[in-house]
Amino acid sequence: MPEPILSIRNLSVGFRDTETKEVINVLRDVSIDVPADHILGIVGESGCGKSVTMHTVMGLLPRTAVVTAGQIRYDNRDLLGLNPVQMNEYRGKEIAMIFQEPMTSLNPVYRVGDQIAEMLELHQDISHKDALAEAVRKLELVSIPSPEKVAEQYPHELSGGMRQRVMIAIAMACDPKILIADEPTTALDVTIQAQILALMKALKEKMHSSIILITHDLGVVAEMADEVVVMYAGDVVEKALVVNLFREPSHPYTTGLLKSLPMLHSSDERLYNIVGTVPSPRNFPEACRFAPRCEFVHDRCLVERPRLVRIAPDHEVACWLRVAQGAA
């Protein structure tokens, strides 16, 4: 695996209860590497910690959040040690993010061109006039027809697919080295989803950037990602190259996710479902957090936390079942 451009090490994050002041643990010892010119997929159910991890990278956690441990290293610096002014130098310029819902991320009272221009003016020595001209070029880059016209429009005048393209244009305005995409196609129909994913992959190849793709859609991961990180209840439970993960899923949770996908040849069968629900962060088990829902659970799972172990080249899993079977 190439050297990482971004390295998250043993990251733990909690949220402080405003009444009791107790810190509720959400992320536990999350470690993720993102190589250069690479697409990393992060998958898991809602509430597993995907977005919290990336909001921590971006320095966008709410005030109630508490980073209790870990490092996030980029450009030989720990981003967690930067003050807000220093973080602004990286956010948008070096690491950019496409948020889940463009209608709530775009400013409704500013024209599209001005919103792209603002990003350029923040990070580049450029006049507003030149920034607006560059904004039109960025809209053209994301395949928006009549970019001069769209630059003069407001977000509510655009379709969902067009707004998502505008969000990509803003995120890519300063040619960042890393693009974080948080469920970038959730609110779009299937045809537009495919166009947005193809656009992101084309821009990544053109600019040689890396993409961190946050999603619950394993079909998107199979199509886009080079490597996959599977998260459950704030833990990383499996890491693998995408081919290896789909060919030989090794954590019971990953296996359950894949078995729950609908198949064309089994339309008359009931879809598989993982029993139970994701626990509340207040009730996360101290040992294996998946144990209450796992069909292979045994005594050790209830008292001792499994750590990631390498079971094959570029494949790690945190499961006592695999440890018992022998790690590579």
Q: What are 294-310's pLDDT values in tens digits? A: 999 999 999 999 999 99
Task: Indicate whether 64 belongs to any domain.
Answer: no
Contacting residues for 104 by C-beta, under 8 A, at least 6 apart: none
Name the band, by pLDDT with cuts 50, 70 and 90, for residue 269: low
For 90, list phi and psi in degrees, rounded to 5: -95, -40
SS3 (DSSP) at 79: helix
The residue type of 254 is T
Task: Indicate whether 204 belongs to any domain.
Answer: no
CA dihedral 312, 313, 316, 320 (to 10 degrees): 20
Task: Indicate whether 66 belongs to any domain.
Answer: no
Task: Indicate whether 277 belongs to any domain.
Answer: yes
Task: Indicate whether 144 belongs to any domain.
Answer: no
Span 39-80, pLDDT tens digits: 999 999 888 999 999 999 999 999 999 999 999 999 889 999
Task: Indicate whether 3 belongs to any domain.
Answer: no
**What residue spans of the chain are helical by DSSP H?**
50-58, 84-90, 102-105, 112-123, 128-141, 147-151, 160-171, 190-207, 218-224, 242-247, 252-259, 299-303, 320-325
Print the domain residue range for 259: 249-328
Question: Does the pLDDT value for residue 190 go beyond 90?
Answer: no
Task: Indicate whether 181 belongs to any domain.
Answer: no
Distance between CA 160 and CA 156 in Å, rounded? 9
Calculate mean pLDDT across residues 28-36: 96
Residue 307 C-beta-side C-alpha neighbours within 13 Å? 4
Distance between CA 290 and CA 251 in Å, rounded? 10
Q: How many domains does the chain have?
A: 1
What is the pTM assigned to this prediction?
A: 0.92
Distance between CA 188 and CA 159 in Å, rounded? 10
Centre a 10 Å sphere on the Cβ of residue 67 and count the other Cβ atoms it contains: 15
Q: Report how many helices (DSSP H) and strands (DSSP E) the chain contains, helices first.
A: 13, 12
Task: Indicate whether 92 belongs to any domain.
Answer: no
Which tokens sit at 276? 């139970």
Residue with tokens 């879809």: 271
